[in-house]
Structure 1
Amino acid sequence: MADEARSVEPRHGVGPILEPFEDVRRIAVLRGGGLGDLMFAMPAIEALAAAYPDATITLLGSGSHAALLSDRPGPVDEVEVLPVSEGVRPPKDGEAEDDAELERFFARMRERRFDLAVQVHGGGRYSNPFLLRLGARHTVGTQTPDAVELERVLPYLYYQNEFMRSLEVVGLAGAPPVSVEATLHVTAQERRVAADLLGQAEADRPVVGIHPGATDPRRRWPAERFAEVAARALDDGATVVVVGDETDVPAADAIVAQAEHVAPGRVRSLAGKLGLGELCGVLDACSVVVGNDSGPRHLAQAVGTPTVGIYWLGNVINAGALGRARHRVHMSWVTHCPVCGIDVTQVGWTAERCPHDESLVAEVSAAAVYEDVAHLTATSPLPRDT
């Protein structure tokens, strides 16, 4: 951290709140990745918007971030989709990193003349050099020992709640927290679309949402466990809807097939059929959402729906909901790969991931999960925001 930043008398938030920078009119926030990654950054972005009310905020993010935030009220003024860049945005669908495309992107960003650039995308090995190429007057972010330094930095220690990490980073820029978890506005149109998709189900019965997917297969609870939860919910009179993207269709179909006999017609899959706006509307219409550590569970939390999450113990530290009135956490205490026995608590640059994809959360009890589902469905400890 620069000497100037060290000398400031600290105020306290999640971490020290340093003096804000002067004359900040344009802010860039770097946070690529999936929907959950975006949710982790939202409280930090809200803090920046409150600390610098006259500044515009540009999120350097993914295509899914742009689709989700387009025309949605909130602190982000615009989303610039990141080009393919090692450690910042991985290639997909035949893409490859292109030096000319990257230079065009940075030239266009430098024309914006950002006053402040904020890195909340990992430890900085790749993201800090990327951020510096924006040419901003001031930079803040996290730093591993092998990363280049920004103007003001925090050490990146992997096991930390991601909401808190991002809030600590923007504290370096003089932005105290105004919230500690993401809040996402659901539009009236999204609610109408969800009502059409669900018919009268959400008005007549509680709706239990299920999301069986996760980017890392080791975070996926077995489909048969989700099916057991679905069957219990149906038996108690609820309607069940399974959501997810195209990769979740096989698990969703298996859940429906295994639970359908309990109450034919009251369990259905919308996996692979919803845009992000439609997904927000459906999650908002649910009484409770059950899922792995995944983007849709984070979205459900952000729109105000109670959730029951199935987590591996390390992911609870980084991504678990902070409160328990609306959100319940069921945790697997597995610390070694079920196949090869390697220590799975070692992460990133400290140890390579073993090649096995066996679930680390299979031991979590379906009966225990459903107990929380039933409780959150039957008793709303706090009123839903509207």
Structure 2
Amino acid sequence: MKHSLPAHPRHIAILRLSALGDVCNLVPTVRALQRQWPDARITWIVGKTEHALLEGLSGVEFVVYDKATGFGGMRQIWRQLRGTRFDVLLHMQQALRASALSLGLECDLRVGYDKARAKDWQHWFTQRQLAPHPRAHVLESFMDFARLLGVEDTSLDWSLPIPDAAYIEAARLSGEAPYLVISPCANPRLRNFRNWSAEGYAAVIAHAWERHGLVSVLSGGGSPQEREMGEQIRRLCPQVEIVDAIGRTSLKGLLALLDRARAVIAPDSGPVHMANALGTPTLGLYATTNPDRAAPYCWRRHVVDRYPDALAHYLHQTPESVNWGTRVRHADAMSLITLDDVVGQLDRLLAETAMNRDDGGIHRPEDGPATQDDREPNA
């Protein structure tokens, strides 16, 4: 039995707890829902860290879940939302923790991914599934929820809130000179293997200074791995000015830093999607994850893409022969990215966006955000 969709939902729940890049990719779906039903309430159940990034997002009520609190935190959310009934719950988190949390929410309809995209048995916890969308980018998978509800205007809008205090924080670190942000490390999870080399980043920093007059600002969290990477990079660049902001910004401060940057370089991680959401020219470094699925959406043609080479070298496969989203979990895969790959793309990116800067330092792709008709293949 196919459950009916609400024609005009009055209260929409979004369940997406993590991660930073994913919640950035989800914001255009929220904006599309708001355009379609400006009077509808939207409640987003989100992780604690992710809320720090999104706080102040217009027209959204946040309910914050701290995964460190476990089942106790779920019960607290159930109590907080007791008596609240949603017309539809958009279950966008493919994890058993999120599915368990969803069971305590009152709603008329639970919508989740189709079986091909669902993980951790998510389809057992939903009543209506998305239409199949093979080889979809993460942002497009989120937008499929809006499409299922009948939203037609899927143009991209983020409008992430950044308070004045965050710009002051960023300016205190970066100074007045034009700068490039390099966020060298992805989330230091087990077998993540998304990081390029300190030697490679050091050479790019020297190139950015000598060729383009750009100071490099290193960003990242305060983990030992990230701090050690920053120290290695600085040791390799004794003659070049580097601002080390690793572990020294709030999330809003990082947004402001990315917003004012001339460009951003990072592996598949939160900062490339944060920069993309702000319209800042973004150069993603990809070998262990598929950029067709997870590149910074508006800057996909500027990524360094060694994913097919990594598949061939370490898994003896091609992008067409593996499951969508397959990762190459090999510690040496990112070494397939060469210095020429990165500086070549950086030079092209800076040249193509040189005339597209406004007085506020916000940048946009030359032809604007992709629309429903002109998105790239496999996106």
The normalised TM-score by structure 2 is: 0.80
Give the CA deviation at 1:176.
2.9
Across the two proteins, how many residue pairs are aligned to each other? Answer: 345
1:162-177 equivalences in 2 (<5 Å)? 162-177=138-153
- Pick one of 172, 192, 201 that aligns with 2:168: 192
Q: How do 1:319-334 and structure 2 match up within 5 A?
A: 319-324=294-299, 328-332=302-306, 333-334=308-309
1:305 aligns with 2:276: no
Q: Is residue 277 from structure 1 mapped to residue 252 from structure 2 by the alignment?
A: yes
Whole-angstrom distance in 2 between the partners of 1:176 and 1:128? 28
Match runs of 1:123-202 below 5 Å = 127-128=98-99, 130-144=101-115, 146=121, 147-148=123-124, 150-154=126-130, 159-180=135-156, 182-201=158-177
**2:44 aligned counterpart, secondary structure:** strand
* Number of the residue aligned with 1:251: 229
| Alpha-carbon distance in structure 2 between the residues aligned to 1:343 and 1:103 | 45
2:62 is matched by which residue type in structure 1? Answer: V
Structure 2 Cα separation of the partners of residues 74 and 366 of structure 1? 41
| Aligned position for 1:47 | 32
Q: Deviations over 1:118-141 (max 9, x none)?
A: 11223x766445434311122222
State the Cα distance separating 1:338 from its structure 2 match: 6.9
- Choose the corresponding residue for 2:75, options 103, 120, 123: 103
Which runs of no fewer than 5 residues in structure 1 stay unpaired? 6-19, 85-90
SS in 2 for 1:29: strand
1:82 alignment partner AA: Y
What's the RMSD between the two structures over aligned residues? 3.1
User: Within the alignment, does 1:113 sit opposite 2:85 as a pair?
Assistant: yes
Preserved CA contact (<8 Å) 2:287 2:337? no
Is the CA contact 2:133–2:141 (under 8 Å) kept in the aligned structure 1?
A: no
Residues 381, 159 of structure 1: alpha-carbon distance in 2 compared, 3 angstrom cutoff: farther
Deviations 1:134-155 (A, max 9, x none): 1112222214374315332126
Q: Deviations over 1:338-362 (max 9, x none)?
A: 77x58797669x99x89x6504222
CA contact (8 A) 1:115 1:136 kept: yes
Distance in 2 between residues matched to 1:155 and 1:73, nearest whole Å: 28
Note if contact 2:199-2:236 (Cα within 8 Å) is conserved in structure 1.
Answer: yes
Distance 1:270 1:130 in 2: 36
CA shift, 1:271, in A, is 0.3
Counterpart in the other structure of 2:61: 78
Shift of residue 269, structure 1, vs aligned partner: 1.0
Q: Indicate conservation of the 8 Å contact 2:263/2:282, yes or no.
A: yes
Which deviations, in whole Å up to 9, do the C-alpha atoms of 1:34-84 show, x marking residues without a partner? 2101012111111111222112212111112211222x3434x22222253
1:3 CA displacement:
6.0
Alpha carbons of structure 1 residues 381 and 316: separation in structure 2 relative to 1, 3 Å = farther
- The amino acid across from 1:289 in the alignment is V
When normalised by structure 1's length, the TM-score is 0.79
Q: Which runs of 5+ in 2 are unaligned?
A: 363-379
1:139 and 1:372 map into 2 onto residues whose CA distance is: 43
User: Aligned letter for 2:228?
Assistant: P
| Residues 33/343 of structure 1: CA separation in 2 closer, same or farther (3 Å cut) | farther
Shift in alpha-carbon separation, 1:382–1:251, aligned structure 2, 3 A: same
Map of 2:371 onto structure 1: none
Report the identity percentage.
25
